[in-house]
Structure 1
């Protein structure tokens, strides 16, 4: 049988990836492989503790943090967020998704915490990025590939958000990404703590996730990868070469003004494994679970209608959506497992758990994805993880 190391090495030797770290845990059996190097040129060999920009793997972490506040009664799923986020207490909605940004109607209902967790608040990316109401997300909010040092601090960011109309009425449509960043601001205001402090105190420190945060300390930059963009074709091989987007001493070497709950974290394979074990109920701290089984069940349940899944197919590829992550609702490919929960990051990362089997999978690379579709190396990894 082909090994995990052989699968990763095939994509590194082709020139497509500079390196990769993969972790597959099935019960008590944990397999880890690190191949290639942390970057192109004078970089250290890839290692189990190499630090990566994990991008959208931040989203499930933020969702878990919100669920902690819900368990404590500091937030509620059906709570309108306008009380803590007055900037969007009375949002307006474009009359038609393709219409101009100044042709708006009032929102028919308030945005709730659940709308943010399920990405149905009305803000975010649809399949058509060219829609007029989508353009301010890129221009004013710096949504898209993470660039932490270019985003305004949370209060200024929320003021900019308040000037942008919703694309759909709250609760109607699944739209990607922006809801997690709004959720991060909500978590900070509800907890009375900056988001990095709250995540560190409530999740990272209890779970021993020592290398997870919104910046890499100077002493650990030697374990940090470069971040690359490849050719436009997205095919295997080094066609078009690899362009350095961010060096280890670049945008993640200092704390950003806006800690993005949509895509700002750095982490390692073992840290993400610890987070997965916590959701599976195996990471109790001092004999106490950080999240109740019921909260995890809510996170890992698909909340979308068939029409919402179909409209979000560009990103979801047939999956549903829970709180902050996708949920496999059927077996469509060898790697799909009904109930599998997790997500992929645009910087070339993937993390999933399967509550029914107790498995955790982590794949970390440093090549930016060329689009929303999962690339061949991820598919090969998932096939292996599923035992196919």
Structure 2
């Protein structure tokens, strides 16, 4: 009978994944396996507490932090964000998505907090990366694969963003990624604290997420994995070493994909969501906020237009929501997301299930690789 170790080992032993850690849990029954090594040299075996760049599974954490501010009464979901982000006070919108970046019209309405949470603010990636305005997201904002030491500080980043038009009118279309980075800046400005400090105090410390943050301290670098990406001619190449881009705090802490973490740390966050916001008798979020996070907010046409990114899934706050059993691993109501560095994390409230996969090989594109799909299939049956 196939087990979790078999699933992971199949992809590590046969290449190209150097190593991986997987966690599948239902209630108190937890299965964790670590296979392979932290780098291609095989210098250290992968371990349960190995630290990974988790990329876009940062997004649900950022969304949870925003909901804390909502519950604090400091912001509301329907609030226009220009009170805290004046750079977005007068956005312009491309007349046509494929048009030149200077052919714009005024936005029909203000961008709201919920627009950002649902990725419908007008900023972000469509399926077509060749559009002129999308090239500005890559070149001017360093959107795309995480580059923590190459992104400007939040105020400068927002000033640059203000000069880039929206691809669509606020509320109309789901677009990927950029909204979570904007939310990171919003959290800092509303709370009056840097994003790393706010997350540490309100989420990481209460949940015991001791290895989660925007950088890895020197004392923990021996547990930090190297990071690779596939190359067109076959094989993989090194992108970042433990003493590289995540060895010091970045100027721009990315709410879209900047965190490092472990399977047990993200599991602590997942358990909080499954418990509808409570942990060890302490409530971090209300049940209502958790339900809002994990409920699909897209229209059918918005889901269909999301293309390769969500493969027809819905979107809650900071993560996708399965709306139908499209594939063997899809369970209606499953919430979570994937990270471009080779990570994935999901919860299913109806079954109390958690499935977390961390690897250090970047995805080649929006379509999840075979390792993820095999892992999800196993988790759905476990």
Structure 2 residue corresponding to 1:350, chosen from 331, 344, 347:
344
Alpha-carbon separation, structure 2, partners of 1:77 and 1:282 = 19
- SS of the counterpart of 2:303? helix
Aligned to 1:382: 376
The answer on whether the counterparts of 1:207 and 1:283 sit within 8 Å (CA) in structure 2 is: no
Rounded to whole Å, the distance in 2 between the matches of 1:170 and 1:295 is 23
After superposition, give the CA deviation of every residue in 1:278-323 in whole Å (9 maximum; x if it has no partner): 0111773451221111101000110111111111121001210000
Residue pair 2:277, 2:287 contacting (<8 A) in 1 also: no
Change (3 A) 1:130 1:16: same
Is 2:276–2:286's contact at 8 Å kept on the other side of the alignment? no
Distance 1:31 1:286 in 2: 22
Pair 1:262-2:275 in alignment: no
Structure 2 equivalent of residue 213 of structure 1: 213
Dislocated runs of 4+, deviation >4 Å: none
Instruction: Count the aligned residue pairs.
Output: 382
Partner of 2:226: 226
CA–CA separation in structure 1 for the residues paired with 2:7 and 2:194: 40
**Counterpart in the other structure of 2:163:** 163
Could you give the per-residue CA deviations for residues 251-272 of structure 1, whole angstroms, max 9, x where no partner exists?
Answer: 0000000000000000000000
Q: Secondary structure at the match of 2:358?
A: strand
Query: Partners of 2:217 and 2:106 in 1: how far apart?
Result: 45
Equivalent position SS for 1:386: helix
Q: Which sections of structure 1, spanning at least 5 residues, go unmatched?
A: 233-238
In the TM superposition, what are the counterparts of 1:100-115 in structure 2 within 5 Å? 100-115=100-115
Match of 2:267 in 1: 273
2:342–2:361 CA contact under 8 A, matched in 1: yes
CA distance in 1, matches of 2:326, 2:98: 32
Whole-angstrom CA distance in 2 between matches of 1:137 and 1:283: 34
Structure 1 residue aligned with 2:317: 323
CA distance in 1, matches of 2:332, 2:16: 30
Aligned residue number for residue 236 of structure 1: none
The alpha-carbon deviation at position 43 of structure 1 amounts to: 2.9
Could you say which residue in structure 2 is the equivalent of 1:99? 99
RMSD value over aligned CA atoms?
Answer: 1.0
18 and 42 in structure 1: CA distance in 2 versus 1, 3 angstrom threshold: closer
2:25 counterpart of 1:25: yes
The verdict on how the C-alpha distance between 1:66 and 1:304 changes in structure 2, with shifts beyond 3 A counting, is: same
Contact 2:93–2:104 under 8 Å retained in 1: yes
Alignment of 1:292-371 (within 5 A): 292-371=286-365
State the alpha-carbon separation in 2 of the partners of residues 29 and 286 from structure 1.
Answer: 18
> Structure 1: how far apart are the matches of 2:3 and 2:276?
26
Question: Structure 2: any 5+ residue segments left out of the alignment?
Answer: none
Structure-1 separation of matches of 2:145 and 2:43: 23
Structure 2 CA distance for aligned equivalents of residues 167 and 282 of structure 1: 35
Match of 2:244 in 1: 250
Q: Deviations over 1:11-64 (max 9, x none)?
A: 001012100000000111000000000111153100000000000000000000
In structure 2, distance between residues paired with 1:285 and 1:273: 12
Aligned mates of 2:35, 2:79 — CA distance in 1 = 46
Check the 8 A contact 1:180/1:324 in 2, yes or no: yes
Larger displacement relative to structure 2 (277-286 or 246-255) = 277-286
Q: Structure 2 CA distance, aligned partners of 1:169 and 1:283? A: 33
Q: Distance in 2 between matches of 1:269 and 1:218?
A: 20
- What is residue 64 of structure 1 aligned with on the other side? 64
Q: Which residue does 2:45 correspond to in 1?
A: 45
User: Could you tell me how far apart the structure 2 residues matched to 1:11 and 1:139 are?
Assistant: 34
2:37 and 2:46 in contact (8 A); partners too: yes
The CA deviation at 1:173 is 0.3
2:2 paired residue number: 2
Q: Which residue of 2 aligns with 1:235?
A: none
